Amino acid sequence: MRRPDPYMERARELCLAAGIDPDSRVGEGRGQPAWCSYRDAARKEHLAREANTAASEIANLRPQEARFRNAPLKIFGPHEEATVAQMRNCMAVGNVVSGVICADGHLGYAQPVGGVIAYEKQISISGVGFDIGCGNMAAKLDTRFDDIANIVPRSSATSPRRSRSVSAAPMPSGPSTSCSTTAMPGARATWRPTVKKR
């Protein structure tokens, strides 16, 4: 038995609103039901609703510092509105410096696939692919920071006065429509890498 199409009901409504019988046939040969022509529009409406819901949930989280709000987002190529909205939702949380959606970007579980977000002094594990088994590995070292300070890479944004620790907060398990670089209620820590100056 075929699984029901999640967008069929709304696509049929859109077809009727356009004055077309949803069950009439369109296309070559046997064709397909006319409502299928409206499936994409129904899907886009659904994704827009999900993005708005996620944006509302994000607004209830800890407010983002003013200097990280409206960080620049560079977009390469055309993308669905839902993909851009998902990226902007992710960039509304944490110490975001900038973001990029690459030409092959598309919706992801939490952050768009092909999307990259740069944070100041934070790491977000939501940018890791869940579906193909990508992963991060971290290990707590018993090495003193001074012993490895000369081999730790430094960016131009790193100043000597800033903390020399790198840490990542736990994310809720399973697919999500929002991103976070801060601990969320009910989240279980799966890893927390730390390198500190002693």
Q: What is the pLDDT along the chain (198 residues), one digit of tens a residue?
A: 788 899 999 999 999 999 999 999 998 888 899 999 999 999 989 988 888 888 778 777 778 889 999 999 999 999 998 899 999 988 998 899 999 999 988 888 788 988 999 999 887 766 765 555 555 555 677 888 788 888 876 644 444 444 344 434 333 333 333 333 333 333 333 333 444 444
Q: What's the pLDDT score for residue 171?
A: 38
Q: What is the pLDDT of residue 170?
A: 39
pLDDT at 34: 93
In DSSP terms, 25 is beta-bridged to: 33
pLDDT of the residue at 159: 41
Q: What pLDDT score does 149 carry?
A: 80
**DSSP 3-state of 89:** helix
Strand partners, 26: 32
Distance set, CA 60 to CA 54, 55, 116, 118 (Å): 10, 9, 24, 22
The answer for residues whose C-beta is within 8 angstroms of residue 74's C-beta and 6 or more apart is 98, 99, 100, 101
Q: Find out whether 45 and 13 touch, Cβ atoms under 8 Å.
A: no
- Would you state the pLDDT for residue 130? 55
- C-beta neighbour count of 106 within 10 angstroms: 14
Q: At 17, is the secondary structure helix, strand, or coil? A: helix
| Collapsed DSSP state (helix, strand, coil) of residue 69 | coil
Would the pTM count as exceeding 0.85?
no
| Three-state secondary structure call for residue 41 | helix
